[in-house]
Amino acid sequence: MLLVLLLAAGLWGIGYLAGVSRAARMTSVGVLLLGVITAQLVLPDGHPLREATGGSAALWLILGGVAILVLVYGKALKALRNRAAPAAAKEPAMPSDQFSETELERYARHIVLRELGGPGQKKMKKARVLVIGAGGLGAPVLQFLAAAGVGTIGVIDDDEVENANLQRQVIHRDADIGVPKVFSAQRAMEAQNPNVTVLPYHRRLTDEIAQDLFGDFDLILDGTDNFDTRYLANRTAAALGKPLISGALSQWEGQLSVFDPANDAPCYQCIFPEAPAPGLAPSCSEAGVIGPLPGVVGSMMAVEAIKVITGAGQALRGEMLIYDALYGESRKITLSRRADCPICGAGA
């Protein structure tokens, strides 16, 4: 009997190393077991082959019966799990102007809002939003836009998840360290809401691709931490007439605004004509940032995105909201267009 078990283990191991499928390995072991049972039933008592394989068919029949029961149980369990799978996983993709029962239930708290309702939720499902950066601000923006049901969400970032990111970039997990942020974020968003389409772009935003990329989206959100990208995003969005929601962080303070020259609001460069001198605006890695602050400001950016998409309320066009987490204060300041702005001014 030991010889047969060793042969079965050998067949399984060789098949595994050779990359043979599990079903094929089970078949080979089954054929071996069937051959042993046949030899026990056909050969006479005392035959060397019968003696070498146990001397009796009873034990092998019991063993075969147990194996069959285990296989049947596994198949039945798998069938039950499939039947119990969430309805959302089985529902076909709905057209952009229709909702499945699962979606209606999921977005019910939006639909009952007088300012949104069904028409507003439909606008979100049809919307195409690009988020620049999947870091501190991008993490909550992406999570809330996906949860809210924005139909198509693009995310561009050339960075990978690092251990130091996890103190504030809550869309990523410890197991994602070393994974490109756009793919880590994509997994989290699709796990949260399989009804949205996520388009990851693992690369840096450059002049060569900005125009074509922005052209595929209705709204741009900038959560980056460097001025070169901010100015590039601003001039590209302004040239295409796309609204740009921009947020920024430093230590305990955050700010955000909707830059939309196409709707008579200033652009980013109206407010910040030039990048600050080196050292005057240190990055989060240099100056530090309190962990929940990106979540607060990023959530505000997501709210502004929903307002811009649906037309609800009054978006922060021509205004900047500044939040001071250290003292629990917020304030708004009015922003004005500059006639000499090289991006949206008279001579642009």
Judge whether 261 lies within some domain: yes
Residue 88 pLDDT: 39
What's the CATH code of the domain at 284? 3.40.50.720
Judge whether 110 lies within some domain: no
User: Is 43 found in the same domain as 167?
Assistant: no
Judge whether 132 lies within some domain: yes
Q: Contact 241/234 with Cβ under 8 angstroms?
A: no
Judge whether 186 lies within some domain: yes
Q: Contact 149/195 with Cβ under 8 angstroms?
A: yes
User: Is 270 found in the same domain as 138?
Assistant: yes
Distance CA 46, CA 132 (A): 79
Distance CA 133, CA 136 (A): 8
> Which structural domain, as residue segments, surrounds residue 272?
127-334
Question: Of 83, 118, 135, which one is at a domain's C-terminal end?
Answer: 83
**pTM greater than 0.75 (yes/no):** no
Total domains in the fold of the chain: 2
User: Is 199 found in the same domain as 55?
Assistant: no
Question: Of 64, 83, 102, which one is at a domain's C-terminal end?
Answer: 83
pLDDT in tens, the chain (348 residues): 566 667 767 766 676 666 656 666 677 777 777 777 777 677 777 777 666 766 676 776 777 777 777 777 777 776 666 565 444 344 555 666 688 999 999 999 999 999 999 999 999 999 999 999 999 999 999 999 999 999 999 999 999 999 999 999 999 999 999 999 999 999 999 999 999 999 999 999 999 999 999 999 999 999 998 899 999 999 999 999 999 999 999 899 999 999 999 999 999 999 999 888 776 666 666 778 999 999 999 999 999 999 999 999 999 999 999 999 999 999 999 999 999 999 998 766
Residue 128 pLDDT: 97
Residue 203 pLDDT: 95
Question: Of 60, 83, 106, which one is at a domain's C-terminal end?
Answer: 83
Distance CA 76, CA 8 (A): 25
